[in-house]
A and B are shown apart, each in its own frame.
Chain A
Amino acid sequence: MRDRRGWAGAPLLVRTAPVTTPLVGVATVLALAVTLLGGLSTLLRRRIGQAHLVGAAALELVLVVQAVVAGVALAGGHRPVELPTFLAYLGTVVLLPVAGVLWARSEPTRWAGTVLGVAAVAVAVMLWRLLQLWEATRG
């Protein structure tokens, strides 16, 4: 706390409000990119490739960061009104890209990309619900 400048900017944002609109925005953009890539592969009659894996990995990274900072904030006393629902969303959203990639990789037809896209769309939708749940701290 002595070095206040070190906490300025992005770290301050993360420290005070872990599930934030910017973080959710970045994750949403990544999720939509993965969705588009998946749809493109299906349209081009291709399986999934490097681009999908990289996109999904980037998305997963942001989601894990979000889960960690949210966990720290929860430990620090932040209490969303619907805590069980919030935790369920937080856990599921981290698992979804992994499940999507695993299942898409074992699909030999062009529908692999769509499977990954379904998971990514679900992540995007759940993130905004997560944001609502996080901000509702008082009934």
Chain B
Amino acid sequence: MADPDAGARPGEDHALGGPAAESISTDADTARGPGRVLVAVYGLFAVAAGARATVQLTWQFDEAPLAYLLSALAAAVYVVATVGLARGGRAGRRTAVVACTIELLGVLAVGTLSLADPAAFPDSTVWSGYGSGYGFIPLALPVLGLLWLRHQSEVAAEQAEERAVEPGQNSPPKSPPPKSPPNSSPPPA
């Protein structure tokens, strides 16, 4: 017996899930596709670093003030990057680029300092040893983030170009908004 709703619920008609939507690279959106994975990881680190910094600053501040303040800085940077990536748009991308850049410099600086002068970092932070306590993800994240943001701003620039080429933006003629190219929409099954 055929399920009449099978086509309407593409996400649930197989145990492993229905076919995915095709690449969304025509849409500038930092929190879609691979970007959503980035936002998820950034969100995790925002929560993890934030909680850790809160505990350190509240109960153990005197033990290693420098390390714990850096922990708090790292947490703030992760929060800002997460919000920037999740919101997207021109402002969101710019915010995220700044946050990712600070993050990259931070993990490189703290990583180097923690190896060169371990006495200053008696207790580890997210960025100690280039993030070795977190599987070096803190080192990879800003690089991936900046690459993704560069890709997204290229996509956005292309879109803006296309929009500029299309004549008469404020007088919509017969065709609906040029969101989807005609050849990419399959006939209804």
Q: Which residues of A contact B (CB under 8 A)?
A: 37, 40-41, 44-52, 82, 84-85, 88, 92, 100, 103, 105, 107-115, 118-119, 122
Candidates A46, A103, A110; contact of B40 at CB < 8 Å:
A103
CB < 8 Å neighbour of A85 from B14, B24, B34, B55: B55
Interface SS of chain B: loop
Q: Nearest chain B CB to A93's CB is how many angstroms away?
A: 11
Give B19's nearest chain A residue, CB to CB.
Answer: A46
Report A-chain residues with C-beta under 8 Å of the C-beta of B189. Answer: none
Residues of A within 8 A of B32 (CB): 107, 109
Known A-B contacts A107-B36, A111-B37, A115-B40; the reply to A41 vs B55 at CB < 8 A is no
Number of A-B contacts (CB under 8 A): 87
Per the 8 Å Cβ criterion, residues 105-130 of B in contact with A are none
Contacts of A115 in B (CB 8 A): 36-37, 40
Interface centre among B12, B37, B40, B55 (most CB of A within 10 A): B40
A47 touches B47 (CB 8 A): no
A119 to B37, CA, bound (A): 10
Q: CA of A85 to CA of B36 in the docked complex: distance in angstroms?
A: 28
On chain A, the residues within 8 Å of B17 by CB distance are 41, 46-49, 52, 112-113
A to B CB contacts below 8 Å, 20 in the list: A45-B19, A46-B14, A46-B19, A47-B10, A50-B14, A51-B15, A82-B55, A85-B52, A108-B20, A108-B24, A109-B32, A111-B34, A111-B36, A111-B37, A112-B20, A112-B36, A113-B17, A114-B37, A118-B44, A119-B40
B160 beta carbon closer than 8 Å to chain A: no
- Interface-centre pick from B20, B24, B34 (highest chain A CB count, 10 A): B20
Give the total of B residues in contact with A, Cβ under 8 Å.
29
Chain A residue at minimum C-beta to C-beta distance from B20:
A110
- Say whether A109 contacts B44, CB under 8 Å: no
Task: Give the complex CA separation of A84 and B52 in angstroms.
Answer: 10
Closest chain B residue to A110, Cβ basis? B20
Q: What is the interface of chain B, defined by CB distance below 8 A to chain A?
A: 10-24, 32-34, 36-37, 40-41, 44, 47, 51-52, 55, 58-59
Q: Provided the pairs A103-B40, A119-B40 are in contact, do residues A50 and B20 lie with their beta carbons within 8 angstroms?
A: no
In the bound complex, residues from chain A placing their C-beta under 8 Å from that of B13 are 49
Closest beta carbon of chain B to A102's beta carbon, Å = 11
Q: Report the separation of the CA atoms of residues A32 and B3 in the bound assembly, to the nearest whole angstrom.
A: 32
B36 touches A49 (CB 8 A): no
Residue of chain B at shortest CB distance from A49: B17
- Select one of A85, A92, A105, A118 contacting B11, CB under 8 A: A105
Tell me the minimal C-beta distance from B40 to chain A in angstroms: 5
B36–A47 touching, CB < 8 Å: no
| B24→A109 contact, CB < 8 A | yes
Q: Is the beta-carbon distance between B40 and A47 smaller than 8 angstroms?
A: no
A88 touching B55, Cβ below 8 Å: yes
The answer to whether A49 and B12 touch (CB under 8 A), given A88-B55, A109-B23, is: yes
